Structure 1
């Protein structure tokens, strides 16, 4: 039997092998694999910086309250003097009593107008001429008058109250006179001399009592210590605010609207801490007074907030997963996604299937888009190793349109988060009790995200909160 040529027997096998080679070449030309290395996983260990801020302390003392306190202390006899002598008057004695309640009202700027009704008793000898005859007569007189004074109030460098009282004038309720039978001898001129030289005693007494009642240093010493204690502004995030005070400022005192008022500014560095209640800083002594015409009572502080990483991944997968990216006849689908941090950068780890199979890495700096109120990654791009490998096997993926789609898919809306933080901060500052008699009252009028970075389990934001905070004194 004749055998067939060997080459004829192996012809189908050769064709099969050729077909397989062609299929393999076609397949490998359409679908390539990538084994890129991602950026090193590492996280920033930083806290928000302290900000220079001012806590305002409005101090107001109702003038009627001051008036009542002064009247409680100044009662009955004011002063007594003996052996007073002037031309036409010898060996006079004088006693002065408060006749009715002292009246105090706001006057000009930092001054009170004080009216003191007094009764004055005079006894002594007077020399006078009547129809050319010199007459010497012993006399006793009870006089009534209203004395008007202006008291200026200020503080020295050690926060001690200083007052200066001057006489504005006085008014006789009944003009003083001496009667010799039917003849009336006016004593106004003599009495005026006696009174003018002695009114300083009433001014000194008034100054002493106002100093006792206006206890500015006492109030400020307590405030200065209290504002250095940490206070809670967010129960949910366990966020505490601490103020490291550096200086005390005060506006000039004012007596408008029947209230002695001023504003004290505690200037210092405010910082927010997350976790258990921090230990208070070493207490600083009360600094010297710095007087300012006006105070900028703006309070700024960084609050730290976080967005759960799993929530961000879930949101990104909803926008991103199973999306197909095309360039001509080539396409890839995203079948897996993860996020992590590499220093200041946020890294996206994406698993691809299609014309390119494997894992690629993109990274960029997260930031806040104030207009859209989203966390975005404006400088998103492939990592260095991914870029180098794609340049060799799939440079079509460098198309900016694909990067833009990925960047849009990874945006995180934070409007609701900011509104929640604002609501919580405002609630915390609504009559926050620091200690008995000392409350914080404030409002936050603006929140702005200044910094965004990754932590192992979350995206952390530094939120700059701006507003006004005042220390309200109750019963001090």
Structure 2
């Protein structure tokens, strides 16, 4: 019985020792994070060229929408001895005129009351005559873009009567063409001004441009898996003068902006219409240069790297571990990677390395990756096999943060805004993008920041604006 008890004790001891040998608890000292530069970074502005074309037909449609029925009314005869009402009889026609001018043809009907008289010795003696006009006015306008508006300087060139102008005399309409033609100058400036005001009102680009920009500046999801968002923050808008080419107005518009890629939940838009100023320039480069800042918070990058380790075992035979969770942070210019492991060794092991970028694979990886000093010392005593270079090399392969999906999805998502994208009815955006080029990495106390450059072209056309 004593012999049996001794054998049982020996077996239990062996099992206990064996258990201790196969499962070790690593209690390495955590390298505490320190402060890097706060999340303030130098974002190189991007310049996006947007040549804009507007068809004369759209200007014509907008002007007709602005002017309908009674287009002018002056009911006071006391100030200038003229009382006048003008109606548009048919749709206005706007055409291209020689020398980058536009010609406006306005069918109209007018009733003009003209007062002739004097005031002597306190007695007012007046004779008021009423003229009925029915004809077609032809106006020619110089065109410029001023303060977001298509600005015209219109001059009445001719007035062709459909019917002979008449004057009411003793209740009868009497033709007075010979009197009316010289009298056209009395309301000439009023008609010219009215056309200028209608075109300026209908061709105010500011609401359209700002509405389109506001939609474009809402951060949009580039990659659902990596939860990456692109945010555009306008700084300034530039514009050249408008030029008339055939049946289309063309002007070059450019935007100076900051572009950011953020990871995590959808960020807020930073669009502020009140801070955007239109600056006139003589020339804008044809290509866009977009400098994008890709911001990967340590928390979000940790989640991505944890996915990299899913289902993997490291080691061989009975000496294996699985990584359950990954956390990363900054310390003295290096990245600390904390791996929570289960298996032959339980606990947290700490790695340290410098973040680098692989241009070919589009990955952020960690150069000179090694165990933190205290971790390495503990492993050498308790699990030397885990400290070996071969195992570390395999772990290192998963300690990568690929931004290739971000770049590809970002390029794909941005292209959806460049293939006849219509932020509003009648406005269409088209363009192309070249390869995205990586620039550099910057570490902060909250994130890894990657700087990326994109080149391409963008154009905006207006066709069927309502």
Q: Taking structure 2 as the reference length, what is the TM-score of the superposition?
A: 0.53
Equivalent residue in structure 1 for 2:234, among 232, 245, 259: 245
Describe how 1:34-433 pairs up with structure 2 within 5 A.
40=31, 42=33, 46=39, 50-54=43-47, 60-71=53-64, 73=67, 102-107=92-97, 111-116=101-106, 148-157=138-147, 159-166=148-155, 199-220=188-209, 222-223=211-212, 226=215, 229-281=218-270, 283-285=272-274, 287-296=276-285, 297-304=288-295, 306=301, 308-310=304-306, 342-343=330-331, 344-346=333-335, 363-371=352-360, 373-377=362-366, 414=402, 417=405, 420-422=408-410, 425-426=413-414, 429=417
Contact 1:149/1:166 (CA < 8 Å) preserved in 2?
yes
Alpha-carbon deviation of 1:51?
Answer: 4.8
Alpha-carbon deviation of 1:381?
Answer: 7.8
Alpha-carbon deviation of 1:290?
Answer: 1.1
Structure 2: how far apart are the matches of 1:233 and 1:349? 28
Call closer, same or farther: CA 1:203–1:280 in 2, change over 3 Å: same
Q: Deviations over 1:372-411 (max 9, x none)?
A: 64545556689789999xxxxxxxxxxxx99xx8999689
Contact 1:48/1:303 (CA < 8 Å) preserved in 2?
no
Alpha-carbon deviation of 1:246?
Answer: 3.0
Structure 1: how far apart are the matches of 2:403 and 2:85? 76
Alpha-carbon deviation of 1:303?
Answer: 3.2
Structure 1: how far apart are the matches of 2:86 and 2:408? 67
Contact 2:261/2:294 (CA < 8 Å) preserved in 1?
yes
Structure 1: how far apart are the matches of 2:30 and 2:433? 39
Call closer, same or farther: CA 1:460–1:148 in 2, change over 3 Å: same
Q: Secondary structure at the match of 2:193?
A: helix
Q: Secondary structure at the match of 1:218?
A: helix
Contact 1:304/1:460 (CA < 8 Å) preserved in 2?
yes
RMSD, aligned CA? 6.3
Larger Rg belongs to: 1
Structure 2: how far apart are the matches of 1:436 and 1:171? 37
Contact 1:39/1:347 (CA < 8 Å) preserved in 2?
no
Q: Secondary structure at the match of 1:209?
A: helix
Structure 1: how far apart are the matches of 2:242 and 2:158? 24
Alpha-carbon deviation of 1:367?
Answer: 1.2
Alpha-carbon deviation of 1:273?
Answer: 3.5
| Structure 1, unaligned runs of 5 or more | 1-34, 81-93, 123-141, 177-186, 323-333, 351-359, 389-400
Alpha-carbon deviation of 1:206?
Answer: 2.2
Structure 1: how far apart are the matches of 2:425 and 2:269? 18
Q: Which residue of 2 aligns with 1:139?
A: none
